[in-house]
Amino acid sequence: MNKLAILGATGSIGTSSLDVVRAHRDRLEVVAVSAHRDWRKLAKICREFSPRVAILAEESLRDEVDTSQFPQETELQFGAEAITQTARASDIDTVIAAIVGAAGLASSYAAVDTGKRLAIANKETLVVAGPIIVERARQTGAELLPVDSEHSAIFQAMQAGSAQEVSKIILTSSGGPFREKSQEEIAVVTPEEALQHPTWEMGQKITIDSATMMNKALEIIEARWLFNLQSDQIEVVIHQQSFVHSMVEFIDGSVIAQMSPPDMRLPIQYALSYPHRWIAVAAKADFKKTFSLDFSPPDFERFPALKLGFDVASQGGTTGAVLNACNEVAVSRFLRRELSFYDIARLCRELLDRHNFIRKPTIEELMAQDKWARKETNLWKP
Ligand code: NAD
Ligand code: MG
């Protein structure tokens, strides 16, 4: 039995993870779940899966929650620290990191620090502290398994050769909802338009990130640390069907791709089944139908966030923490209509240029930069 903690169980990845558990009850057991504030949804999950512990990150809900909605066998806890402590618990084998944003960093680090398998969807953790997480995993023997579909694809394709034989990776991107729009049109898009993703149904923050292509920028940085690549070994290609999830090119020119219909349950399941494969939960491809796959280069002019990804991947140090924090706050200000669409990337660039760069920061130094960037982004006036 693989004993799981699903952190961020009420979100899009959390929901898909629970679906994978439903299909593989003989192998997977949910021991812990967490959510930010949606206690009704968390209670419903607990009634179905009977975990040992359920945690709400928002402490102030303590007096509001109707504890009778939770089953007897589940202990309800509150606060971010309880989530981190649970990620360290000895009765958990695998932590599924499905919290959104830098809020997922402490629990992801705790899982790696205690030598567990970390199935990581929470890419922001790797953007902020990639080198620290990867190095700690190496020391403790913790396994880092990507859940992000592109990184799962690369992880799978890499098994076709040795690390020294990889020449580059090609990250695919659907191009988001504004793939066909002009720069002038993109400049005035509304939150409602940006929340309509053509191929994936996801949480709000990553959906906006997909529209700005900041999501791909974060994924470039994520790949740089996960696979120990140089930034010039990473390419991005627009592939609107989201069928090829990414590719690895080897030194002999062979390109190995991983393909499947877009459904996060496949990469989540692989992060749990690795090094084996289990029967599919997600629908399979149908090659009896006619369909075609398109690839085209990305446009750095219309999507300035992309360049930020390459710059941060090559600079490292504190740049990931600044980019991520600025983007998180700028996205929420865009959703509140306080910033325009292009302000998000503009502001990230400005803060990266202005911040106090440290080449080999500690976690505390990264957190200080995160705090600074959040404050500056909140104060910024367009
Ligand atoms: P979501 O918004 O649907 O869910 C986020 C989860 O985190 C929820 O359970 C929420 O309660 C919890 N949460 C939010 N803020 C929190 C906080 N401050 N403290 C503790 N918990 C908090 O997001 P999602 O789409 O499921 O994405 C989760 C992560 O997975 C993100 O890092 C995202 O980039 C990554 N990811 C998502 C997808 C996808 O298809 N949704 C694909 C690849 C990667
Ligand atoms: Mg992705």
- Do 133 and 108 form a contact (C-beta atoms < 8 A)? yes
- Do 183 and 302 form a contact (C-beta atoms < 8 A)? yes
How far apart CA 271 and CA 146 sit, in angstroms, is 6
Mean pLDDT of the region 43-67? 97
Any idea which ligand is nearest the CA of 149? 2
Q: Express each pLDDT in 279-301 by its tens digit.
A: 999 999 999 999 999 999 999 99
SS (H, E, C) 63-111: CCCCHHHCCCCCEEEECHHHHHHHHHCCCCCEEEECCCCHHHHHHHHHH
User: Structural domain boundaries of the chain?
Assistant: 2-146, 152-178+191-303, 317-382
Q: Express each pLDDT in 165-193 by its tens digit.
A: 999 999 999 999 999 999 999 999 999 99
Beta-carbon neighbours within 5 Å of ion ligand 2: 148-150
Percent of the chain's residues with pLDDT above 90: 98
Mean pLDDT of the region 311-328? 98
C-alpha distances (whole Å) from 236 to each of 29, 101, 233, 251, 254 are 37, 23, 10, 18, 17
**In a mutational test of the pocket of ligand 1, which residue from 206, 264, 332, 370 has the highest number of ligand atoms less than 8 Å from its CB?**
206
How far apart CA 207 and CA 186 sit, in angstroms, is 15
In CATH, what is the architecture of 317-382? Orthogonal Bundle (1.10)
Mean pLDDT of the region 314-319? 98
Alpha carbons within 13 A on the beta-carbon side of 244: 22
CA 318 to chain centre: 19
User: Above 80 in pLDDT, residue 200?
Assistant: no
- Among the atoms of ligand 1, which is closest to the Cα of residue 83? 20
> Among 341, 352, 321, 8, which Cα is nearest to 176's?
341
Mean pLDDT of the region 215-239? 98
The pLDDT, as a whole number, for residue 295 is: 98
Q: Express each pLDDT in 248-283 by its tens digit.
A: 999 999 999 999 999 999 999 999 999 999 999 999
User: Above 90 in pLDDT, residue 195?
Assistant: yes
The sheet with strand 244-250 has its strands ordered as: 234-238, 166-173, 244-250, 255-259
The pLDDT, as a whole number, for residue 198 is: 77
Q: How far is the CA of 34 from the centre of ligand 1 (A)?
A: 11
Q: How far is the CA of 51 from the centre of ligand 1 (A)?
A: 20
Q: How far is the CA of 177 from the centre of ligand 2 (A)?
A: 15
- Angle (nearest 5°) at CA 24 between 23 and 27: 170
The pLDDT, as a whole number, for residue 197 is: 81
Q: Express each pLDDT in 119-151 by its tens digit.
A: 999 999 999 999 999 999 999 999 999 999 999
The pLDDT, as a whole number, for residue 201 is: 83
Indicate the pLDDT class of residue 199, thresholds 50, 70 and 90.
confident
User: Above 80 in pLDDT, residue 316?
Assistant: yes
- Do 51 and 100 form a contact (C-beta atoms < 8 A)? no
Q: Please check whether the two domains, 2-146 and 317-382, share a CATH topology.
A: no
Q: How far is the CA of 99 from the centre of ligand 1 (A)?
A: 4
Nearest Cα residue to atom 25 of ligand 1: 203
The average confidence (pLDDT) of the chain is 97
CATH number of 2-146: 3.40.50.720
The pLDDT, as a whole number, for residue 251 is: 98
Say which amino acid occupies 204: Q
- Do 189 and 178 form a contact (C-beta atoms < 8 A)? yes
C-alpha distances (whole Å) from 288 to each of 241, 257, 260, 284, 382 are 17, 20, 14, 12, 52
**349-379: b (≥16 Cβ within 10 Å) or e:** bebbeebeeeeebebeebbbbbebbbebbee
- Among the atoms of ligand 1, which is closest to the Cα of residue 36? 11
Pocket of ligand 1 (CB under 6 A): 8-14, 35-36, 38, 57, 98-100, 103, 121-124, 148, 200, 202-203, 206, 264
Mean pLDDT of the region 362-382? 97
User: Above 90 in pLDDT, residue 18?
Assistant: yes
Q: How far is the CA of 205 from the centre of ligand 1 (A)?
A: 8
